[in-house]
Structure formats: structure tokens, C-alpha cells
Amino acid sequence: MNFLFFGRITKYKGLNILWEAYKRLLDKYKQQITLSIVGEGDLKLNVNEIKKTIGTNVVNEWIPNEDLYKYFGRKNVVLVCPYIDATQSGVIMLGYDFLVPVIATKTGGIPEQVQDNVTGLLIEPNSIDELYKAMEKFILNIDILSKYSFNIKSYMSNFSWIKSIGKFEKYIDLEGTKGGECL
């Protein structure tokens, strides 16, 4: 299983929580897991320790759009967003573009983006134990990757231009029968 932490690295994103959960997972699953920490910012962790740890990859720089597939396009990827506090996450939607399931925290509007046990798993913020269990669920049940990916594809179809136009047309009568008012 390839766990991915992606995006601007700041304290509220909970990278320290992920690191602790990952180290615990290594005790049982070191041959089955990897962790990529990809993004620009101050890691505030011991980078040397991370780089020396089996199965880890740190890319501490901004990633251009044409290189996103290198991280999201790998086999068996799970995006991990252990945010301590957040209003929403553009990274989750980016992951969905690649049909990548997510583990994220129940903070801000994130539960509106992640359908628990449908497109990913939701956990409580600041919980190393819950993050560990969610990551382990993916390790032990690799079949849920394809199930969640399928669900993501269906979920993302709600955001197509055609569907957006259809929703817009429900609120505005283009032929003037509603007096052109917006509801």
C-alpha cells in the first residue's frame, strides 16, 4: 500500500500524526507499505530520520501539474489528509481526479468531500490510533481500493460541466417563463 501525504506542508495538516501512525505500521507491515511526503513547506520533523526509514520518500518542493501522475498515478495509492484543523481540501479533489481514495479527518467541510466508507475513511483529528486503524484497513483489505475508486468516479460525475449546467438551468429559466429570476 502506498500512502501519500501531498500538498503545502503546514502545521495544521497533521503530518506529525501521520508520521507516528506510519512508524507503528512499520512494525507489522514494513514490506507492504510505503509513505511519500510530497509538497513544499517546513516539515518540522526529523527529515534524516524519515529518509532513513524503510519505504519513505520525501519530495520537499512544489510539484508542477505535469508531474502529479508520478505520485497520484502509482498503484495502490491512498491519500492521507490527517488535518488538525481545516475548512476544506483541494488536495482531496485532486486525489479524486486520479480516483485515489482518501483517509481524512472530520474537520471543517472535509466530511462534505469524503463520504465515509464510500470514497474514503473519516477519522477524528489528532488521533494517531484512528489513523493507524484506517491505514491498516486499507492494508488488510486491498479490495476496497477498487471499490472506493469506482465510488469516486460516480461521485465526481456530479461535478461535470453538463451536470453543472443542468443544475443551473433548474434555477434560471432561459426562455423567460420565470421572469429571468434566480432562485
Question: Which positions of the chain have pLDDT values less than 50?
Answer: 183
d(CA 120, CA 82): 13
Can you list the domains of the chain with their CATH numbers? 2-158 (3.40.50.2000)
Contact 23, 1 (CB under 8 A): no
First-to-last CA distance in the chain?
47
Contact 23, 53 (CB under 8 A): yes
**57 burial type by CB count under 10 A (0-12 exposed, 13-18 middle, 19+ buried):** middle
pLDDT in tens, 68-121: 999 999 999 999 999 998 777 889 999 999 999 999 999 999 999 999 999 999
d(CA 105, CA 68): 23
Output the pTM of the full model.
0.85
d(CA 103, CA 3): 10
